[in-house]
């Protein structure tokens, strides 16, 4: 059996004094600890970026919904304005003097 020497064990006093970083066991595992810290930071930043994208998607969906409703309202107003009866009322209201023709349209032919 191997006996642990005083240098191989990490004591509470070493942790408080900051000498723990000089220990051979800690130095041996330092790359792994740095890698795990890097991966943790990467995961946190990825989550924040994902949440930002989700918030932006929700805003875009709301704006698309609003624009669709506005588009349907404008389309219905346009349909009302292009009705024959609405056009006739507007012409009479503005006093343009236009009247409905009683004769059907005639094709005019030009001879050379």
Q: What is the pLDDT of residues 62-81, one digit of tens each?
A: 999 999 999 999 999 999 98
pLDDT confidence band for 7 (50 / 70 / 90): low
Q: What is the mean pLDDT of the chain?
A: 87
Question: Are the C-beta atoms of 31 and 37 separated by less than 8 Å?
Answer: no
The whole-model pTM stands at 0.53
Dihedral in degrees, nearest 10, Cα atoms 89, 90, 92, 97: -140
Helix (H, G, I), strand (E, B) or coil at 29: helix
The residue count for the chain? 112
pLDDT confidence band for 4 (50 / 70 / 90): low
Average confidence (pLDDT) over 80-105: 88
Which residue matches tokens 């056009």? 87
């Amino acid at each position: 059996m191997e006996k642990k020497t005083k240098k191989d064990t990490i004591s509470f006093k070493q942790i408080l004094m900051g000498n723990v970083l000089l220990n051979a066991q800690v130095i041996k595992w330092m790359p792994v600890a740095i890698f795990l810290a890097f991966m943790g930071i990467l995961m946190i930043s990825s989550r924040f970026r994902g949440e930002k994208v989700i918030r932006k998607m929700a805003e875009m969906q709301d704006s698309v919904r609003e624009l669709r409703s506005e588009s349907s309202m404008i389309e219905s107003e346009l349909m009302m304005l292009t009705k024959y009866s609405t056009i006739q009322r507007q012409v009479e209201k503005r006093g343009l003097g236009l009247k409905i023709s009683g004769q059907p349209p005639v094709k005019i032919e030009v001879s050379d």
